[in-house]
Amino acid sequence: MKKLFKYLSIIAISAVAATSCADYLEVDKYFNDRMTLENIFTNKDYTDGWLSDTYSHLKSGGLTDVCGKYNTPHNFADDQTFSDGHRTDCYGYVTSGKWEDVDYASGAWQEAYMGIRKATIMMQNVHNLIADSRYVDEAMVKDYHAQARFVRAYYYWLILRKYGPVPIIGDDVLDYNQSYDELARPRNTFDECAEFIATEMAIAAKDLPLTRSVLEKTRPTKGAAL
């Protein structure tokens, strides 16, 4: 009887272990629950979240600074500097030769192109939002599209004034799984960058409103684009 009980216990434990293992290895359910672009841009709330995230990269101090001892220490022409009580280490990186091109000062480049990518994706998909017609009309979709175009051009302007001529990606959404050689793009000329920014702003201005409500004061208007 004891042996029979022992065998039954082993069988029961094995069955539970096999089931648990099968459940553990079954990962399709996690991928099925992932948010897709179709889910995002057919829902106003999700689209609002995507647009807000597109703007969020503007918060990078290194992106908005043209020159400064924290994020862009190009102003150190000699050994003179000052201390306001914190973050003098950045100056030390420069004077000691420890600063490299891929360092804290390159964060603005990364933040800008992340914002540029998100803006382009929105421009290519926001027209699907009209499916959520309970809360959205064509004018609102045009405004969303124009905001994305505006902020994309604005990111280009910020890095143009900071780094000089930069690569213009345009409407391409690059596959970041590709190799560096496949993703690498040459810098455009300064005139090409300036022309692209000016043209994009003029196009965005056509569908941006003249004024914004109090709750949208931080969003671009026609005048801001022009």
Q: What is the pLDDT of residues 27-80, one digit of tens each?
A: 555 555 667 888 888 888 999 999 999 999 998 767 776 665 555 555 555 555
Tokens of 184: 């690498």
Alpha helices in the chain (DSSP H): 2-25, 28-32, 37-40, 44-56, 61-64, 89-95, 107-125, 138-163, 180-183, 190-207, 222-225
User: Which strand (E) or helix (H) includes residue 173?
Assistant: none
Q: Which residues contact 219 (CB under 8 A, 6 or more apart)?
A: 147, 212
What pLDDT is recorded for position 120? Answer: 96
Q: What is the pLDDT of residue 22?
A: 53
Give the span between the Cα atoms of 147 and 119, in whole angstroms: 9
| Residues of the chain with confidence (pLDDT) below 50 | 83-85
pLDDT of residue 142: 95
| pLDDT reported for residue 12 | 62
What's the pLDDT score for residue 85?
47
Residues 6+ apart with CB under 8 A from 55: 115, 151
For the chain, give the number of residues: 226
**pTM value?**
0.74
DSSP 70: T
